Amino acid sequence: MTFYPEYIWFNGRIVPWAEATVHVYSELAVRGASVFDGIRTFHHEGENYALCMEEHVTRLFESAKILRFPVDIRPEDVYEAIATLVHRLDITETGFVRPTIYIDEGRYGYRASDTKMGWYVHAFPLPRSSSTTTGIRCAVSTWTRATDNVIPPRVKAGAFYQGYRLARLEGFDRGVDDVIFLNHRGTVAETTNSALFVRRGDQVVTPPLSADILESITRRKVMELLTSMNGITLVERYVTRTELYVAEEIFACGTLADIQPVIEIDGIAIGDGTPGTVTRAVQEEYFGICDSGANAPKGWLTKLARPRT
């Protein structure tokens, strides 16, 4: 597995990895002016499929819109780039694709006419993590999640992740796999790369978007799955820190993380400290769909068409 494949899509074409460079004085380098998204791909019977590609690319463009990037490409350009690159790299296993739009040249103060945009797509094989089976240990971060009026969590911008990185590093120092952010209200937001679901009895609770979380696409899909599961009521509401400790089970979900049982928080076992039954049921449905190729329900998997030669 390599995160540094032979080729990358760079400003409208495939180039050798080493040729995709930007200047140190670009807005990307100086002020971290980029938005990105992450999309899983699955290989099934000789074809590659992208999971929720349109929803991810829509979010990419929404991130750019909020940051007032004068984007000069269309979603269709990104779809084409993804399909072309995945075929060129001949990815024949589970993969990950990261489209990024950035400001190459431009001033700190926004003026579209002074701004030169750039974009790239990076793709690489990435198998499902073993922590989807073993579960992860978390701690509540001492860092607070920024709110919509500060650094909007809805926006997936490269620079914003520096704040999450601080929290991750603190978590690693504390010996856990990831951390859980509280927001400015003091209620639970999410981890550094996943949305959270918390089971209390027969209710599965997830913090609402107003809890300062990313508008996660996996969260949306998991909510769809939970809604059709018997014996479970899905509730979107604020969750307090101590509720985490007494929950029967908790899981985190995201494109890269997939569905991960959270088995411990702040040294306290969640439930009996093993992956819970609802977590397992959601994993079975979710992974079943991801691995089903052309048989997936509508809107989940898009076949990546081979480029015309």
Q: How far is the CB of 194 from ligand PMP (least distance, A)?
A: 5
Which one among 41, 63, 183, 194 touches ligand PMP, defined by CB under 6 A? 194
193 near ligand PMP, rule: CB under 6 A: yes
Question: Among 174, 190, 189, 193, which Cα is nearest to 131's?
Answer: 193
Which one among 41, 255, 279, 283 touches ligand PMP, defined by CB under 6 A? 255
Which one among 7, 34, 35, 38 touches ligand PMP, defined by CB under 6 A? 38
Interface pattern 210-239 for ligand PMP (x via CB under 6 A) = ----x-xxxx--------------------
The site for ligand PMP, by CB under 6 A, has a size of 14
206 near ligand PMP, rule: CB under 6 A: no
Beta bridge partners of residue 105, listed in sequence order:
116
Q: How far is the CB of 190 from ligand PMP (least distance, A)?
A: 5
Strands (E) across the chain are located at 7-10, 13-16, 34-36, 39-44, 47-51, 95-105, 116-125, 136-144, 178-182, 188-191, 195-200, 203-206, 233-236, 249-254, 258-265, 268-269, 301-303
Q: How far is the CB of 161 from ligand PMP (least distance, A)?
A: 7
Taking residue 3's Cβ as centre, other Cβ atoms within 10 Å add up to 10
* Contact window for ligand PMP (CB under 6 A) among 103-111, 116-124, 193-201, 283-291: 193-201
DSSP letter (8 states) at residue 174: T
Which one among 104, 178, 190, 258 touches ligand PMP, defined by CB under 6 A? 190
Between 38 and 271, name the residue whose CB sits nearer to ligand PMP: 38
Distance CA 110, CA 223 (A): 38
* Contact window for ligand PMP (CB under 6 A) among 3-11, 187-195, 238-246, 300-308: 187-195
106 near ligand PMP, rule: CB under 6 A: no
Q: How far is the CB of 193 from ligand PMP (least distance, A)?
A: 4
Taking residue 161's Cβ as centre, other Cβ atoms within 10 Å add up to 16
Contacts (CB under 6 A) with ligand PMP, residues 125-164: 164
Whether residue 44 contacts residue 121, with contact meaning beta carbons closer than 8 Å, is answered with no
Helices 217-227 and 53-66: crossing angle in degrees, nearest 10, is: 130
Distance CA 98, CA 121 (A): 6
Q: Which stretches of the chain bind ligand PMP, using CB under 6 A?
A: 38, 164, 190, 192-195, 214, 216-219, 254-255
